Amino acid sequence: MLVENKLAEDQLAKVKKFTLLRGIWRVGNGYWRSQEKKYAGLLLLAIISLTAIDVYLQVWLNKWRNIFFNTLQDRDLAAFFDSIFLWLILTVAALAVTVYQRYLHQILELKWRTWLTERFIQEYLHSKKYYYMHISDNSIDNPDQRMSEDVKLFIELLLKIFIWFLYTLGILCSFIIILWQLSGSFSLSWQEWSIVIPGDMVWIALGYAIMVNLIVAKFGQSLVHLNFQQQCFEANFRFGLIRLREYAEAIALYTGEQRERYLLKGYLKKVYDNLYKYINRQKVLDCLIFCLYRGAEPLPYIITVPRFFSGQIQLGGLMQITAAFDRVQKSLTFFVGWYKELAKLEAIVKRLANFMDMMEQMRLVGGNSAIRVIASPDMTFSVEGLNVRLPNGKLLIHDFAMKLQAGDSLLITGPSGCGKSMLIKAIAGIWPFGEGCTRIPHNQQCLFLPQKPYLPEGTLREALLYPQSGLTCPDEEIVAVLKKCNLNDLVELLDDRENWSHILSTGEQQRIAFARAILQQPPWLFLDEATSGLDEATEKRLYKMLRNELKTTGIVSVGHRSSLLPYHDKILTIKEKGGWALVA
Ligand SMILES: Nc1ncnc2c1ncn2[C@@H]1O[C@H](COP(=O)(O)OP(=O)(O)OP(=O)(O)O)[C@@H](O)[C@H]1O
């Protein structure tokens, strides 16, 4: 279909244009413009201030090294104990700063995560996007994982990297100044030209860090892609396990264990293969990082020791220089240590941005649907020029039209797979693929009873009144309806909390759906093979009850059995090649 192809192209173009910063902004900026922005801003400010204090304490600890080692060299016991006391004060201060910085960091993480997850859930449920994603051809994998795991990791990693970046920047700026002050100089001469360059240690640290960053960036690039794939494979494997649990009974009845093992093995193999590649790549990177870090350790000693031996600096100075060099060098190679985390963040941001794009596209699928759903000027339910299509554009039903008054009933029949379920969904206004117009009486509730009813977790009473959360109904009325639907055994269980869709038989669930319809008295009722699990006598009884209890309700049913004919005054037969015939 044209809309779908266009959406797929847009999707591809967006993935190609993806950059990490743009992706982070897209996923994360909403929170900082939300109602919580002031509180979040204060928290962030407190965290940044504590980070700055931490940097300040580190600078002091560096100065302390100079003092401490000089007391050793001078064999000055009183000064030695003074320096130990200073160390104690600095350590206690560092402890308080670290603990509170971490505490506030976690609070911010929690608030942001809750906000963002709620936002995703709200968006996902809005305009039936969850449903369009479910029926679309080019949808994304595992939206559930994206809303739970990916959102959590996104915020965890982003805040961690941001705070570390600030901390490292603070350390870098402070220690570059210290190192510059403590450094010696070197001279370059060529023919009669000679130039003295101060800050030898700073230049060496800088040169070394550039080299390390370039090497690691080259080797680490493939980790981003492997990480992205890993998240998908892990999610697919988890989804396979969930399906096994969900369809446990059917699989057991088919004795499909071997086939399931084969499928799960397939998912697991992908997880294993990709992780194996990742681990191998990581091994090379770890080896490189280790060599590059260790390689830098003797550098400051080698360069500074001549000044120490010649008496230009004391032992404390030597120790302070090496510590400062270590700090500067490590800060400059920040990217190296965080490459793994950045790779992970990039993969997660891609998945979340991709999910947001898909939700946007699903909004368009709903909003741009050429099946217009408009309010009917009177109490009639009508359809005009309706073409029903598959998501790929294939036409199933051509130019359908009908008009129903309140209390009318229509039965849709036809061979299996001809498009009856899609037609009833299109009439009810939830199938977006096709063209035409559906007029639904303004503000009138349409209740849909599918072949497999949905019973939410909770009490049986809540399941009966679903989706009306605020609806209350006297017990006598509920009991009477349950009895009419031949569900006497459930009367005692009204307030029991169970996973009803696992406990009740398909026929019982279908009878619950009928009870729901009687209790809620909707003006329009759609039944898609809603009695397929029932014997003919029960089906007859329930339809009779529907007609008696819901006299003004318009009913549209899909069904195969001829026993349904007497309960409907119009019969629609779907024929081959999109044809149809309506008999009143
Ligand atoms: N989300 C979907 N994406 C692509 N094709 C679909 C989708 N849902 C259903 N189909 C296909 O559309 C066709 C019509 O499906 P539909 O469920 O409307 O048939 P039906 O007439 O109700 O069949 P039955 O009587 O067996 O329930 C089928 O060939 C089905 O495979």
Tell me the CA–centroid distance for residue 88 and ligand 1, in Å. Answer: 74
Give the pair of three-digit tokens for residue 56. 């300040």
Look at residue 7 in the predicted model and tell me its pLDDT. 47
Buried b (16+ CB within 10 A) or exposed e, 33-49: eeeeeeebeebbebbbe
Tell me the CA–centroid distance for residue 115 and ligand 1, in Å. Answer: 38
Tell me the CA–centroid distance for residue 423 and ligand 1, in Å. Answer: 10
Tell me the CA–centroid distance for residue 131 and ligand 1, in Å. Answer: 15
Place of tokens 């379920």: 421
Choose one of 422, 451, 556 to mutate for the ligand 1 pocket test, by most ligand atoms within 8 angstroms of C-beta: 422
Look at residue 18 in the predicted model and tell me its pLDDT. 62
Q: Which atom of ligand 1 is nearest to the CA of 528?
A: 22
**By alpha-carbon position, which residue is closest to atom 31 of ligand 1?**
417
Rounded distance, CA 438 to CA 426, Å?
Answer: 8
Tell me the CA–centroid distance for residue 357 and ligand 1, in Å. Answer: 27
Rounded distance, CA 283 to CA 579, Å?
Answer: 63
Look at residue 511 in the predicted model and tell me its pLDDT. 93
Q: Which atom of ligand 1 is nearest to the CA of 137?
A: 3
Look at residue 5 in the predicted model and tell me its pLDDT. 47
Look at residue 583 in the predicted model and tell me its pLDDT. 79
- Long-range contacts for 368-371 (Cβ within 8 Å, ≥24 apart)? 368/3, 369/432, 369/433, 369/434, 370/434, 370/435, 370/436, 371/426, 371/429, 371/431, 371/432, 371/433, 371/434, 371/435, 371/436, 371/437, 371/438
Choose one of 1, 412, 418 to mutate for the ligand 1 pocket test, by most ligand atoms within 8 angstroms of C-beta: 418
CB 373 within 8 Å of CB 535 = no
Binding pocket residue ranges, ligand 1, CB within 6 Å: 135, 390-391, 396, 416-422
pLDDT in tens, 108-144: 999 999 999 999 999 999 888 888 888 876 667 778 8
CATH of domain 18-366: 1.20.1560.10
Which residues, including other chains, have CB under 8 Å from residue 78's CB and lie 6 or more apart? Answer: none
> Where are the chain's structural domains?
18-366, 370-583
Domains 18-366 and 370-583 share a fold: no
Tell me the CA–centroid distance for residue 417 and ligand 1, in Å. Answer: 5
Choose one of 397, 420, 575 to mutate for the ligand 1 pocket test, by most ligand atoms within 8 angstroms of C-beta: 420
CATH superfamily of 370-583: P-loop containing nucleotide triphosphate hydrolases (3.40.50.300)
Look at residue 274 in the predicted model and tell me its pLDDT. 94
Judging by beta carbons within 10 Å of its beta carbon (0-12, 13-18, 19+), is residue 284 exposed, middle or buried?
exposed
Count each helix (H run) and each strand (E run) in the chain, helices first.
Answer: 20, 14
pLDDT one digit per residue (tens) for the chain, 584 residues = 444 445 445 554 555 556 888 889 999 999 999 999 999 999 999 999 999 999 999 999 988 988 998 899 888 999 999 999 999 999 999 999 999 999 999 999 999 999 999 999 999 998 888 888 888 766 677 788 888 889 999 999 999 999 988 998 999 888 888 888 888 777 777 777 888 888 888 888 888 888 888 887 777 777 777 887 887 888 889 888 988 888 887 788 778 888 899 999 999 999 999 999 999 988 888 888 888 878 888 888 888 888 888 888 888 888 888 888 888 887 877 766 677 788 888 888 988 998 998 888 888 777 777 888 888 888 888 888 899 998 888 888 889 998 888 889 999 998 888 888 889 888 888 888 889 998 888 877 788 888 888 888 888 888 888 887 666 778 888 899 999 888 888 888 888 888 888 888 889 999 999 999 998 888 899 999 888 888 888 888 899 998 888 888 999 999 888 888 888 988 999 887 778 888 77
Choose one of 387, 421, 580 to mutate for the ligand 1 pocket test, by most ligand atoms within 8 angstroms of C-beta: 421
Q: Which of 315, 317, 321 is nearest to 299 (CA)?
A: 321
Q: Which alpha helices (H) appear in 310-408, and where do they start and end?
A: 315-332, 334-337, 339-367
The ipTM of this complex is 0.94
Tell me the CA–centroid distance for residue 424 and ligand 1, in Å. Answer: 11
Look at residue 532 in the predicted model and tell me its pLDDT. 85
Choose one of 136, 390, 532, 577 to mutate for the ligand 1 pocket test, by most ligand atoms within 8 angstroms of C-beta: 390
Tell me the CA–centroid distance for residue 140 and ligand 1, in Å. Answer: 21
**By alpha-carbon position, which residue is closest to atom 30 of ligand 1?**
417
The 3-state DSSP class for residue 371 equals: strand
- Long-range contacts for 53-58 (Cβ within 8 Å, ≥24 apart)? 53/93, 53/97, 54/94, 54/97, 54/98, 54/101, 54/167, 54/170, 55/167, 55/170, 55/171, 55/174, 56/174, 57/90, 57/93, 57/94, 57/97, 58/171, 58/174, 58/327
Rounded distance, CA 289 to CA 388, Å?
Answer: 60
Look at residue 2 in the predicted model and tell me its pLDDT. 41
Q: What is the DSSP code (8-state) at residue 149?
A: I
